[in-house]
Amino acid sequence: MLKSIRNRLILLYTGSTGLILTVVLILVQVLMSQQVERNTFSTFQNNFITVNQTVQLNHGISNLAISELEIKNNLIIHIEDNGVPFLYQGGWKTPTDRSRLIDKVKEAALKDKINTSLRPITKKELQSQVYEIRGDRNDRYLSEVYIMPTQGGFRSLIILQYISDRSSNILKLRFFITILNLAGIALLYFVSCYMVDKSLKPVEESRRLQTEFIAAASHELKSPLAVIRANASAIMLQPDRAEHFTKGIDKECRRLSKLTEDMLLLANADARSWKVKKELLDMDLLLIETLDTFLPLCQENGKQLKLELPKHMLPKAEGDFLRIMQLLAILIDNAINYSVEGDTIVLRAYAKKQKLWIEVEDHGKGIEPGRKKEVFERFYREDKARRDKNHYGLGLSIAKELIELHGGKISIKDTPGGGATFLFYLLT
């Protein structure tokens, strides 16, 4: 399922960003092509004016001068006096025959009623619009016709400028932008793969943890259910010992109820539906109540519980009274189970840098450095061979969720001389 979602997200990201990139590059290509066309037209107009002025100022312009102008600017210059062309063969070889191109320009001008073979009716100059002429080999030219009166009659000037090279540049530009677009889409694909994988990594991790949680929970549920079923069968086989077997059933039901309650707490935490009612807490009072509550339990298990407070009163901290008591109960119960008889469990509190720190210290066998983070995983047990069936490895997971709901963090450090110290902080 995640693989299908991954592929869809990659397709969505690549497609959407690729489409935007394509549209942007098309707009760039259109604008650049239009700019090339404008520059080409402007260059032709400037060349036309230059040639026109040269012809007007130099009535005896030489073939060499015309040839230099043509070669320098890719021009075709055709001059006629009273309809008779100059004896000039051209400065460079055009893809289409020069005379053929000049005839095409004359035909275009005739449609605008400009005849280069006849004397203009008026004494004013005649100038045509700019024509685009295509040769026999699909070569392109811009052209214009100019007719001016002279003392001996009239002179006509036809100018063409070869622009196929600019068309070729536009095609190259389009090809480059197409390659750039494809390369951009390919890059977007790899970026999308990376981003989607990075985005789905927490989901995959959450799914893995959920699968492990369900598997572990199923395993833990099987044990009390098997005991209940065995005792129920025993009652039917030995009715006279029903009271004995009923006690076993009741004990396992209590264990099952505790496991179910812990699992529901963690499920609510995962669903973010676990709420805390924060208020300013008198931490001295809360810790003293905790001492009074758990001192008998510690003594019953052959342990001592000691409370260490600073000389001055602790600052008030924000938190939920019942949830903090629940958190301390988990840590103290954990210390009771992982310390030996005669040990002293220390409950300590102190203020530091606008935070109220609370520690629960034991002198048990401690926790290996590589496992300090693992102890907060669900169903984790330091000693997997323990026969104590009253603990499922959920307590510290619940403690972690509780302190994170208060905006704090819980961690572990080694107790001097051996053992483990759990510490967390609340904001003051």
Residue 385, pLDDT score: 39
Question: For residue range 278-327, what is the model confidence (pLDDT) as tens digits?
Answer: 889 999 999 999 898 888 888 888 999 999 999 889 999 888 888 888 88
Length of the chain: 428
DSSP code, position 297 = H
Contact 376, 400 (CB under 8 A): yes
Q: Tell me, what amino acid is at 145? A: V
CA-based torsion, 266, 268, 271, 275: positive or negative? negative
Q: Is the pLDDT of residue 386 over 70?
A: no
- In the chain, where are the structural domains located? 75-162, 279-427
Question: What is the CATH number that goes with domain 75-162?
Answer: 3.30.450
* Average pLDDT of span 183-193: 89
pTM: 0.49
The owner of tokens 């008889």 is: 341
* Average pLDDT of span 164-187: 84
Question: For residue range 123-156, what is the model confidence (pLDDT) as tens digits?
Answer: 788 889 999 999 888 889 999 999 988 877 888 8
Residue 360: CB atoms within 10 Å: 24
Contact 358, 424 (CB under 8 A): yes
pLDDT averaged over the chain? 82
CA distance 170 to 363: 81
CA distance 126 to 147: 5
Question: Kind of pairing, strands 317-319 and 279-281?
Answer: antiparallel
Residue 389, pLDDT score: 47
Could you tell me how far CA 260 lies from the centroid of its own chain?
39
Question: What is the CATH number that goes with domain 279-427?
Answer: 3.30.565.10
Contact 419, 362 (CB under 8 A): yes
302 phi, psi to nearest 5 deg: 75, 25
Contact 17, 119 (CB under 8 A): no
